[in-house]
Structure 1
Amino acid sequence: MARDRIVEADPEDLDLVLSLWYIRLSCLARLRFFNQTSTECVNLYTVLEGIEPASARQWLFDKKLPFELEVLHVRLKYWAGDHMGYLDALAGLLKQCKAKARHASGRKDASTAAMWQERGARMCLIIASQLIEMKDFAAAARLLEPLCRQGDVRSPHVQSAVARIYLQGGYVSAAARHFGAVARDPSADASLKALNSALLASANGDWPAAVEALQQMLAADPENFVAINNLAVAYLSQGRIQEGIRMLEEAIKLSPSTTLQAEPLLFNLSTMYELRSTAGIDKKMNMLVDVAKWAGDGLRTTCLKMPAS
């Protein structure tokens, strides 16, 4: 639909055309068609960067180009495997957000300044996600910690994210401090508080408490796949492998389009198959067929723990 609208749109209506391009590229990325997304995005930017004179091109990039489209363009480096280049490009966008926020504040334009501050916070979250993937938990926590004190950005979800980063880095006491702040926040969802409680209990080795909290989440929302995945891991840690496998297999049957694109869930199920019996390779082969049906071309098949030969 976005493609058809682009073809039919008035070429002089740049706001509409560029917004439609973002919708199309974003949809392709959500469908995990990363190769096609990269090709079309590169072609679009080739056209935009070829606009003459230079003043017109600069005006278009400053005034008309959606910020979300710039973020998507930077994402191409990640899909190409250039993670350090991706971090550098994200840092450039963050610097741009801070500069424009300061400029708007200097002009007493509070609404524009708030918009760029919010975009800067989003860039911090994206950078932190990449740092976590690169196992640099300390840097990710240092980047996000100030957001917990920033009034216009602070939220229970951000504070919970910081706590989970500390958990991954092994700093349980700092995680407990942030989880405690979320637990005392009346604006935080009950499901978020329950998940935080389960994660902290898991980090402390209190698996019965973790199981209880996750079961409460599933009682309220049986299709909470994050809770299902975590509960399966809790069962695994208690030696209840068969129950963990049953939960994940039922989740896949319930929503294959969602679960078969979740790499952590596939990795956990593959691990349980291996632990249950030596015939786990057959189960994983069947799962690979299902993944090929439902997942896009961006799924890292290493999560299935298949043998190299």
Structure 2
Amino acid sequence: MSPSEGSQDGSTPEPMHTSPPAVYTEPEVPDPFLIDDEDSGGEEPGEVAAATESQHVLAPVPLATPPSPVPLATPISPTLTANRNKDVPPPPSEDSDQDEAPELYLPGLCIPTMFLPIPNTDPLTTLVNKYIHPPTSRPLRDLNGEWQRTDFHTLVMSNSWRSLARMARDRIVTSDPEDLNLILGLWYLRLSSLARMRLFNQTTAECTNLFSLLNTIEPPSNRQWLFDNILPFELEVMYARLKYWTGDHMGYLDALHALLHKCKTRSRRAKGDSNVVAMWKERGARVCLIMASQLVEMKDFAAAAKLLEPLCRQGADVPVPATRSAIARIHLQSGNLAAATLHIAQVAADPTAPPAMKLMNAALLAAAEGEDANATELLSGILAEDADNYVAVNNLCVTLLSQGRLKEGIEVMERALKAHPESVVIAEPFLFNLSTLYELRSSTAIENKRNLLIEVAKWSGDGLKTACLKMPSN
């Protein structure tokens, strides 16, 4: 039987170290535009733990504050699109001489007091209990985190982050302390699942516990060997992310810059092994995208665009059309239409760029130039080829709203919600836009939003940012 989250006597275990500073509060209003992400949310089902923090999407600027009509904005392109069919490169070979590997035994990684208990409620449940009556009409939601009767793939696809966090914790405390590869991989699954649930204080506390223990390894050469050969790179990215959650954005950029320097150094050292070089170059590119995302959030658009420019010259190492689209959309956000037009034209002339990407870029440029009707036509063309392109559905709704065509916008979004609720309800900008249209269209918006809340509670899983539903919890 797997250990429970608490101790045997029901008491709450104390964390190994003191609590972190106050958590960073995210903006209340989500960005109304969806990013055209061909990775289905940025994670691959088999490597959700590796993608949550290391693969960020460059966030767009919010449109306008509803309930006034929302003007069309210019979201930034997705991050580098991962090739799910490519071979996974081996770990770096230049430092992996097993004959010289030190003997490491770290039982402290597996003790239960390294973890905090997961809360048995969440903001979505609070909304359901407040707005949905009678109680028999409320969708059943699993707040216990039971994972034994479900396979890993199903938990990932259903956004069951609570269950994944408990599974990782239960497996860690019963693992052999000598199996560091397994234990550290499970640690990242645990931390990334907590972050997906927006339990940032708890994620910070447990991640601090982990690295505090790792930094006590003696002698220093053994500690360095573990960081170079065993510790997942994604855990290092997660550790840097702690500064963001505590509001230290400049410190966050400094930590990311140190990781980028590490990627460049390891890539140069492994120049004799093409697979290892490609791995470190890809990691470096992803760190660049995370840094650019942070710079966009800080409104430093020029620095973000300049940071991504070198990626376009790496050839086959990164998908150039996606990178150029990202740069173009950064320029659109900053109002530099001339620079954006140049990059969009280069993507349009690139035969390797997907047609949907070209049409999406053209639609965003048309919207930025005030040609909402043209943008609507282009987005409708995307949907004619792929009716399940929910990014185009969402952005079409925004262009229709800009033209005052509220009824059409609601119909487009409700049709997508009815067809594939499991895919739509996890997109916070989609829910925010639909809630806004309900408020603008009718005085009975609260009833429509209650029905939307029921659908969300059925399908969304854990970690939804409930502010997108525009239903106050107090």
TM-score, normalization by structure 1: 0.85
Contact 1:34 1:297 in 2 (8 A): no
Per the TM alignment, residue 218 of structure 1 is displaced from its structure 2 partner at its CA by 1.7
Q: Which moved more, 1:284-293 or 1:58-67?
A: 284-293
The alpha-carbon deviation at position 236 of structure 1 amounts to 0.9
CA distance in 1, matches of 2:187, 2:202: 13
Shift in CA distance, 265/177, structure 1 to aligned 2, threshold 3 Å: same
Q: Is 2:232 aligned against 1:66? A: yes
Aligned to 1:25: 191
1:79 matched to 2:224: no
Q: Which of the numbers 118, 123, 138 marks the counterpart of 2:282?
A: 118
Contact 2:425 2:455 in 1 (8 A): yes
Distance 1:291 1:35 in 2: 25
Q: Which residue of 1 aligns with 2:375?
A: 210
Residue 255 of structure 2, aligned match among 89, 95, 101:
89
How has the CA–CA distance of structure 1 residues 84 and 254 changed in structure 2, closer, same or farther, with 3 Å as cutoff?
A: farther
Q: Does 1:241 align with 2:406?
A: yes
1:99 aligns with 2:265: yes
- In the alignment, the residues of structure 2 paired with residue 279 and residue 77 of structure 1 have an alpha-carbon distance, to the nearest angstrom, of 43
CA shift at 1:292, angstroms? Answer: 6.6
Give % identity.
60
- Partner residue in 2 for 1:219: 384
Alpha carbon RMSD of aligned pairs, Å?
2.9
Contact kept, 8 Å, 1:263 with 1:299, in 2: the verdict is yes
Indicate if the aligned counterparts of 2:292 and 2:308 stay in contact, CA closer than 8 A: yes
Deviations 1:138-166 (A, max 9, x none): 11111111211222224211111111111
Does the 8 Å contact 2:204/2:242 carry over to 1?
yes
User: Aligned equivalents of 2:277 and 2:270: distance in 1?
Assistant: 5
CA distance in 2, matches of 1:29, 1:220: 36
Gaps of 5+ in 1: none
Write out per-residue CA displacement over residues 109-143 of structure 1, whole angstroms, 9 at most, x where no aligned residue: 44433322221111111111111122221111111
Indicate the structure with greater helix content: 1
Tell me what 2:336 maps to.
Answer: 171
Counterpart position of 2:304: 140
Find the aligned partners of 1:288 and 1:306 in 2 and give their Cα distance: 9
Matched, 1:46 2:212: yes
Q: Deviation string for 1:157-198 (max 9, x for gaps)?
A: 111111111111111121121111111212111221221121
2:196 touches 2:463 (CA, 8 Å); kept in 1? no
Aligned length: 306
CA distance in 2, matches of 1:72, 1:254: 36
Which residue identity is paired with 2:390? F
**Corresponding residue number in structure 1 for 2:326:** 161
Give 1:295 deviation, angstroms. Answer: 6.3
Residue 437 (structure 2) aligns with: 272
C-alpha distance in 1, partners of 2:197/2:421?
A: 14
The whole-number CA distance in structure 2 between the counterparts of 1:6 and 1:292 is 30
Q: Work out whether residues 128 and 141 of structure 1, in 8 Å CA contact, stay in contact via their aligned partners in 2.
A: yes
Displacement after TM superposition at 1:199 (Å):
1.2
CA contact (8 A) 1:257 1:295 kept: no
Counterpart of 1:14 in structure 2 is 180
State whether residues 159 and 178 of structure 1, in contact with CA within 8 Å, keep that contact through their aligned partners in structure 2: yes
After TM superposition, the structure 1 stretch with the greater mean CA deviation from structure 2, 140-149 or 44-53, is 44-53
Quick one: structure 1 residues 193 and 71, their matched pair in 2 at CA, closer, same or farther if it must change by over 3 Å? same
Task: Give the CA deviation at 1:81.
Answer: 3.5
Per-residue CA deviations over 1:9-56 (Å, capped at 9, x if unaligned) read 442232232223323433444455545443433332232223233222
Q: Which has the higher contact order (CA 8 A, sep 6+)?
A: 2
Distance 1:202-1:168 versus aligned 2 partners, 3 A rule: same
The yes-or-no answer on 1:150 pairing with 2:314 is yes
Q: For residues 51-90 of structure 1, what are the alpha-carbon distances to aligned partners after superposition, in whole Å with 9 as ceiling and x for unaligned?
A: 2332222211122111112112222333344333322221
Structure 1 stretch 269-278 or stretch 280-289: which is displaced more?
280-289
Q: CA deviation at 1:226?
A: 0.9
Name the CA distance, whole Å, in 1 between partners of 2:246 and 2:448. 31
Letter in 2 for 1:124: C
Q: Report the Cα distance in structure 2 between the residues aligned to 1:189 and 1:110, rounded to whole angstroms.
A: 27
Cα 1:250–1:144, aligned 2, differ >3 Å: closer, same or farther?
A: same
